[in-house]
Amino acid sequence: MEPFPFPIRREETLRYLGYQGQPLEDSLLEKLNLARERIRRVSRPLYTYRIFPLSRTETGLVPQGTSLLLSGEDIANHLAGCNQVALMAATLGVQVDKEIKYLELTDMTLGAMADAAATAAVEELCDWVEVTVHQEAKCHGLFATGRFSPGYGDLPIRLQREFTRALDTPKTIGLTVNGSGILLPRKSVTAILGLSSEPIAAAGRSCTSCPNWESCPYRKGGDFL
């Protein structure tokens, strides 16, 4: 995949900027389009995913063959009825981080727009990977949940290191974790999807079904589904 093969949607970029429907000058819209194009040009999207049998223990859920312990009520509810999980990781690549940093130093507004555009882009990539997992599940007569990431609800974000180890992401897509537990490149995502032999109730993409509903900054800004 190169360069970015999906549209970086303007409305999503604006959402990550905290836009609430106020009028925008043409000059700002032009700058926004420039930010989206610059991110599109430097993105080198990569992804990987693997499917694991899922074990249930007293302390949480464990994808078999990994050191990953999925603890907490929210992930348990998300994976209820699932006997397998798909672990996925996606990244836009290190050049996106460099481009954002450069723009933040030379034009703060353009830098902020580029950061938002990159967030929209990596979510678009994750949507595509999620569809791919759903298609593979369907081929095997299985049903898949939506994705759920470390840091959602009560699933600890500190899982990132074990998560990347389970997928060997430093080798497969160049994704690592720094000493603070932050994914590098920064515009990267890890996520979990459950697989079940029985149909899964579709929660859709309603914000009210998200475990981060209460604390979400976009909801507080009036921007939610």
Residue 200: half-sphere exposure toward Cβ, Cα within 13 Å: 24
Query: Would you place residue 4 in the very low, low, confident or very high pLDDT band (cuts 50, 70, 90)?
Result: confident
pLDDT tens readout for residues 173-225: 999 999 999 999 999 999 999 999 999 876 544 454 555 555 565 554 555 44
> How far apart are the C-alpha atoms of 14 and 28, rounded to whole Å?
11
Pairing of strands 84-91, 188-196: antiparallel
Q: Is 210 helix (H, G, I), strand (E, B) or coil?
A: coil
Q: Indicate the Cα dihedral angle 108, 110, 114, 120, nearest 10°.
A: 110
CA 29 to chain centre: 26
Inform me whether the pLDDT recorded for 158 exceeds 50.
yes
Q: Is 20 exposed, middle or buried (0-12, 13-18, 19+ CB in 10 A)?
A: exposed
- Is the domain spanning 10-199 CATH 3.40.50.1820? The answer is no
Averaged over 110-126, what is the pLDDT? 98
Residue ranges of alpha helices (H) inside 107-207 are 108-139, 160-167, 169-172
Q: How far is CA 196 from CA 82, 88, 134, 211, in A?
A: 4, 17, 11, 21
Contact 117, 42 (CB under 8 A): no
The residue behind tokens 């967030």 is: 119
- Residue 3 is predicted with a pLDDT of 73
Residues of the chain above pLDDT 90, percent: 84
- Residue 171 is predicted with a pLDDT of 98
Q: Looking at the chain, how many residues does it have?
A: 225
Q: Is 71 helix (H, G, I), strand (E, B) or coil?
A: coil
